[in-house]
């Protein structure tokens, strides 16, 4: 594997990094938030592992896949973080060449997802200064900016929330920026949507 990320997911489509092996992997998780699609989102929503050994040829997530390939990611393996029925995030492994995960690595990847689940819950339970709760608060603050911008677009265009979020994502995608960056411009009134 070329990289890994652990993302917490507050709802079915908003992954937020709490750990990433490098900047490229962090970018790939953010691409899923921007596009609203991807293996991390699907693994959380479906509560099962999602493996894509060839991003370049997949038709499952057209926006995410093309951007991830451009970032140098060729294969993705997403494993939900869950304890019983509670699903709260995803461990996603990335590789820079296509191909399936070797069977001997699958058991290790599943065990690693279990360990990541346990560590995440233990960190959250301890809540000492400078650990997980601050990261979660930062993620919540970032997402709040996105939701505030979505509300402003609803008012500006007289559209529904889902359509406003789609327009925000489309603007970010077309400008090759993150949703958070575009949302911050909307909230700061540097960017306005017109009918």
148 pLDDT tier (thresholds 50, 70, 90): confident
Backbone angles phi, psi at 136, to 5 degrees: -65, -40
Question: In the prediction, which pLDDT does 58 show?
Answer: 92
What single-letter DSSP state applies at residue 7?
Answer: E
CATH of domain 3-126: 3.30.450.40
CA-to-CA distance for 79 and 67, rounded, in angstroms?
21
Question: In the prediction, which pLDDT does 130 show?
Answer: 47
Residues contacting residue 110 through CB under 8 Å, at least 6 positions apart: 49, 79
Model confidence over 66-107: pLDDT tens digits? 999 998 999 999 988 877 666 678 888 999 999 998 887 887
The CA angle 21-23-24, to the nearest 5 degrees, is 95
Length of the chain, in residues = 195
This prediction has a pTM of 0.63
**Among 161, 163, 167, which Cα is nearest to 147's?**
161
Question: In the prediction, which pLDDT does 66 show?
Answer: 92
83 beta partners: 86
Top mean pLDDT of 9-18, 23-32, 107-116, 180-189 is at: 180-189
Q: Percent of the chain, pLDDT > 90?
A: 27
């Amino acid at each position: 594997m070329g990289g890994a990320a652990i993302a917490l997911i507050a709802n079915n489509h908003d992954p937020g990094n709490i750990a990433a092996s490098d900047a490229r992997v962090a970018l790939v998780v953010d691409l899923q938030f921007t596009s609203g699609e991807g293996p991390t989102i699907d693994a959380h929503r479906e509560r099962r592992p999602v493996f894509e050994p060839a991003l370049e040829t997949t038709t499952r997530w057209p926006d995410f896949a093309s951007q991830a390939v451009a970032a140098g990611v060729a294969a993705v393996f997403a494993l939900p973080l869950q304890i019983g029925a509670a699903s709260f995030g995803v461990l996603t492994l990335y590789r820079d060449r296509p191909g399936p995960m070797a069977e001997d690595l699958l058991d290790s990847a599943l065990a690693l997802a279990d360990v990541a689940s346990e560590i995440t819950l233990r960190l959250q339970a301890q809540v000492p200064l400078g650990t997980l709760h601050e990261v979660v608060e930062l993620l919540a603050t970032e997402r709040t900016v996105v939701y505030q911008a979505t509300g402003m677009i609803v008012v500006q265009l007289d559209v529904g929330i889902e359509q406003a979020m789609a327009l925000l994502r489309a603007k970010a995608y077309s400008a090759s920026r993150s949703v958070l960056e575009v949302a911050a411009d909307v909230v700061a009134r540097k960017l306005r949507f017109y009918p």
